């Protein structure tokens, strides 16, 4: 008798979530996303006997899925497919967590950091924008983001400035900072070179029934669309 394989978190998301979250265009995709909350994803994941950590992964997949889908729909709707493409850049198994390999101008290069969604130029595979998806931004993640932005954008001795003029953006569910720290993140040198931070839902992580705020998603879409149209 063949043993039935258990679905992992990615399988569950791809099979039971992805299609229902995909709109016919970017506006419809935003409409669909605005009607979901974290409880919706967690409750459906529980039906497939996923463990707590896997359930959290399913909840996390939705943001990466939404951002990549929205970018691809914006590219398609503006007929920019010959100019730009989007993909996830992850750790390369052979070279460790700090290495992400891409092909740039027909040569293999290594990014010191990856991205949940990276927008590339078709012509020479030049990365133009890195978007990191975060479940939340607290003090620890704020420091991580500042560190990541420095790695991406600073001139570091004995290294090549591979990503000159690249945009580094953050798509976060909620902001878990006090008003004072949130102000500093957005209005001081602490922000460093994070180009834009988009906070999608009101409230905190514990507010799992809070849905994405439509105006926030519209701002995100407009930012991406303006960037691509100005860069073409």
Does residue 144 lie in a domain region?
Answer: yes
| pLDDT at res. 172 | 94
Does residue 66 lie in a domain region?
Answer: yes
Does residue 3 lie in a domain region?
Answer: no
Task: Answer for the pair 47, 222: CB distance below 8 angstroms, yes or no.
Answer: no
**Domain count of the chain?**
1
Query: Mean pLDDT in the chain?
Result: 83
Angle at 74 between CA 197 and CA 222, to 5 degrees: 40
Does residue 4 lie in a domain region?
Answer: no
Does residue 2 lie in a domain region?
Answer: no
User: Is a pLDDT exceeding 50 seen at residue 2?
Assistant: no
Does residue 115 lie in a domain region?
Answer: yes
CATH number, domain containing residue 56: 3.40.91
CA 10 – CA 17 distance, rounded (Å):
10
User: Is a pLDDT exceeding 80 seen at residue 6?
Assistant: no
Task: Count helices and strands (H / E) in the chain.
Answer: 8, 7
- Using one digit for the tens of pLDDT, what is the confidence trace for 174-221? 999 888 888 877 776 666 678 899 999 999 989 999 999 999 999 999
Does residue 36 lie in a domain region?
Answer: yes
- Using one digit for the tens of pLDDT, what is the confidence trace for 36-87? 999 988 887 887 777 878 888 888 889 999 999 999 999 999 999 999 999 8
Structural domain of residue 209, as residue ranges? 9-231
Does residue 1 lie in a domain region?
Answer: no
| pLDDT at res. 190 | 61
């Amino acid at each position: 008798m063949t043993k039935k394989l258990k679905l992992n978190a990615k399988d569950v998301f791809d099979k039971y979530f992805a299609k229902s979250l995909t709109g016919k265009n970017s506006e419809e995709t935003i409409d669909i996303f605005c009607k979901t909350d974290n409880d919706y994803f967690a409750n459906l994941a529980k039906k497939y006997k996923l463990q707590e950590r896997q359930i959290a992964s399913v909840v996390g997949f939705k943001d990466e899925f939404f951002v990549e889908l929205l970018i691809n729909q914006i590219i398609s709707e503006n007929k920019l497919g010959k100019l730009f493409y989007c993909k996830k850049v992850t750790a390369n198994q052979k070279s460790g967590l700090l290495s992400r390999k891409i092909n740039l101008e027909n040569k293999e290069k290594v990014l010191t950091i990856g991205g949940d969604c990276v927008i590339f130029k078709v012509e020479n595979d030049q990365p133009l924008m890195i978007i990191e998806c975060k479940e939340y931004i607290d003090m620890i993640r704020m420091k991580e983001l500042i560190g990541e932005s420095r790695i991406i954008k600073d001139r570091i001795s004995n290294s090549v400035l591979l990503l000159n003029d690249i945009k580094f953006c953050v798509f976060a569910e909620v902001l878990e900072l006090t008003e004072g720290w949130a102000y500093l993140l957005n209005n001081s040198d602490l922000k460093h070179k994070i180009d834009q931070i988009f906070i999608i839902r009101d409230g905190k992580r514990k507010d799992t029934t809070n849905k994405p705020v439509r105006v926030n998603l519209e701002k995100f879409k407009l930012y991406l669309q303006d960037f691509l149209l100005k860069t073409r």
